[in-house]
Amino acid sequence: MIRTDWTRKEITDIYNTPILELIYQAATVHRQHHDPQEVQVCTLLSVKTGGCPEDCAYCPQAARYHTNVKVHKLMEVDEVLDAAQRAKESGSTRFCMGAAWREVRDNRDFDKVLDMVKGVNGMGMEVCCTLGMLTDSQAQKLKEAGLYAYNHNLDTSEEFYDDIITTRTYDDRLETLGSVRKAGISVCSGGIIGMGEQQEDRIGMLLTLATLPEHPESVPVNALVPVEGTPLEDQERVSVWEMIRMIATARIIMPKAMVRLSAGRVRMNTEEQALCFLAGANSIFAGDKLLTTPNPEEDADKQLFQTLNIRPRPSFKNGEAPVKFEQIPVHV
């Protein structure tokens, strides 16, 4: 049964279940709602990098922190479509484009992103964007261009949020998720663990996600990859068991969501990733970079799929493909 009326106590009890029992319960729910042999493979491309005015404490793309990230203006549409084609050829079924913006502005850059969306949609891939805050009308334009999903993470609990970001509010985030939902775009929203939060914050974030009017279709679970020059550069890395606990709890309370094992996967060996899949993760990012932080190489992932006998999930399995556009030329 899909529930959106979870209580904090219920989620806390699930989260604190002894780990082997928790994995067993999550694996059982996973098998009721998904093919456990399938894992979605997504490629994430940073189409505009660095120079962001926001102050997210984990992010090397924030202009105010001194990191090694090189600022790059919005890529050209044909460059992005070439990258999407390569991702498709190597087995990705979802292509996500990220821009280090605070919010979308109605300008030529947004028009270019709309062209990118049309082009990738025309290739038969699920197109996702993560561009910062959005208004209702911008969400509608993205939908009309063929956008399948929009990522906007809650990052953490409402209570801990101000320790991580001060330049926009938790409510801003929820409003953007509302605009995405209203436009009929699939919602991708999750968060990051290992930023110095308490267990209650992890549970609080899961509670917010699982009590939205509809669960997000995708829930990325990230482990902080501390980057030199950011305020969180010295954070201790979380253990794989903490990741598994988050993934398993997310799987049980949001049974139909794709739970994405995201940042932090590069540090996991095959056995650890297998436990994450057993606990209900069924989506990964492919490609050697996650925006600006490292990710496993393509060959390592091919080997992983072979060893675990899993296969990439086809596109549009949970929903109708948006209207298909022919591959379009660069917007002028």
Any idea which residues carry the catalytic annotation?
Answer: 52, 56, 59, 96, 128, 188, 260
Binding string, residues 131-150; x marks residues near ligand SF4 by CB under 6 A: -x------------------
Best CA proximity match to 179, nearest among 189, 187, 191: 187
CB of 59 or CB of 290, closer to ligand SF4: 59
If the CB atoms of residues 191 and 322 are measured against ligand SF4, the closer one turns out to be 191
Instruction: Please give the sequence-ordered ranges of beta strands (E in DSSP) within 212-330, or none if there are none.
Output: 218-223, 258-261, 281-286, 289-290, 293-294, 311-312
Can residue 59 be called a binding residue for ligand SF4 (CB under 6 A)? yes
154 binds ligand SF4 (CB under 6 A): no
Residue 295 beta carbon to ligand SF4: minimum distance, rounded to whole angstroms: 17
- Taking the complex as a whole, the smallest distance from the CB of residue 63 to ligand SF4 amounts, in Å, to 8
Residue 221 lies near ligand SF4 (rule: CB under 6 A)? no
Which residue shows structure tokens 């491309």? 45
CB 273: neighbour CB atoms within 10 A?
22
Count, residues near ligand SF4 per rule CB under 6 A? 8
**Per-residue x/- marks for ligand SF4, 104-133, CB under 6 A?**
----------------------------x-
Contact 61, 51 (CB under 8 A): yes
Q: Give me 330's structure tokens.
A: 């660069």
**Calculated CA dihedral for residues 172, 134, 221, 18, nearest 10 degrees:** 40
**Strand runs labelled E in the chain:** 38-48, 94-99, 126-130, 149-151, 186-188, 191-193, 218-223, 258-261, 281-286, 289-290, 293-294, 311-312
DSSP 167: S
> Does residue number 62 form part of the binding site for ligand SF4 (CB under 6 A)?
yes
Q: Which of 11, 56, 125, 139 binds ligand SF4 (CB under 6 A)?
A: 56
97 belongs to the binding site for ligand SF4 (CB under 6 A): no
β-bridge mates for residue 284, sequence order: 41, 261
Q: Does 293 bind ligand SF4 (CB under 6 A)?
A: no
Contact 4, 214 (CB under 8 A): yes
151 contributes a contact to ligand SF4 by CB under 6 A: no
Q: Which is nearer to ligand SF4, 54 or 301 (CB)?
A: 54
Footprint of ligand SF4 (CB under 6 A): 52, 54, 56, 59, 61-62, 100, 132
